[in-house]
Amino acid sequence: DQQVKQNSPSLSVQEGRISILNCDYTNSMFDYFLWYKKYPAEGPTFLISISSIKDKNEDGRFTVFLNKSAKHLSLHIVPSQPGDSAVYFCAARLTDSWGKLQFGAGTQVVVTP
């Protein structure tokens, strides 16, 4: 039973525009949420995270929003660049779980010139 869901397998966006990636979760015991980026033939790299006690975290071009009542988080990338073309994974950590993460299925982002 997938507790973290990314319902959009792919997203195409024009260079310079905003990319919005969405993620839904079902477990209220998640206390930390993360976004990872993955290029082909490489391991995922950490992008940005947010604690469940916050509703927004910003780091440069990347902003993550958390709506706890809707059990929904989103990643905004502004402006999108060609190097942002990758698979993005949403992940969530259960409280008191030795740092175990539950991952979504991923969203393939393609940034077009």
Q: Rounded distance, CA 65 to CA 38, Å? A: 20
Q: How far is the CB of 84 from another protein (least distance, A)?
A: 19
Q: Rounded distance, CA 104 to CA 92, Å? A: 9
Select from 4-12, 14-22, 54-62, 71-79 the region that touches another protein (CB under 8 A).
4-12
Q: Rounded distance, CA 66 to CA 13, Å? A: 22
Residues 13-32 that bind another protein (CB under 8 A): 32
Q: Which is nearer to another protein, 6 or 85 (CB)?
A: 6
Q: At 109, is the secondary structure helix, strand, or coil?
A: strand
Question: In the complex, which residues of this chain contact another protein (CB under 8 A)?
Answer: 4, 6, 9, 32, 34, 36, 41-46, 49, 89, 91, 93, 98-106
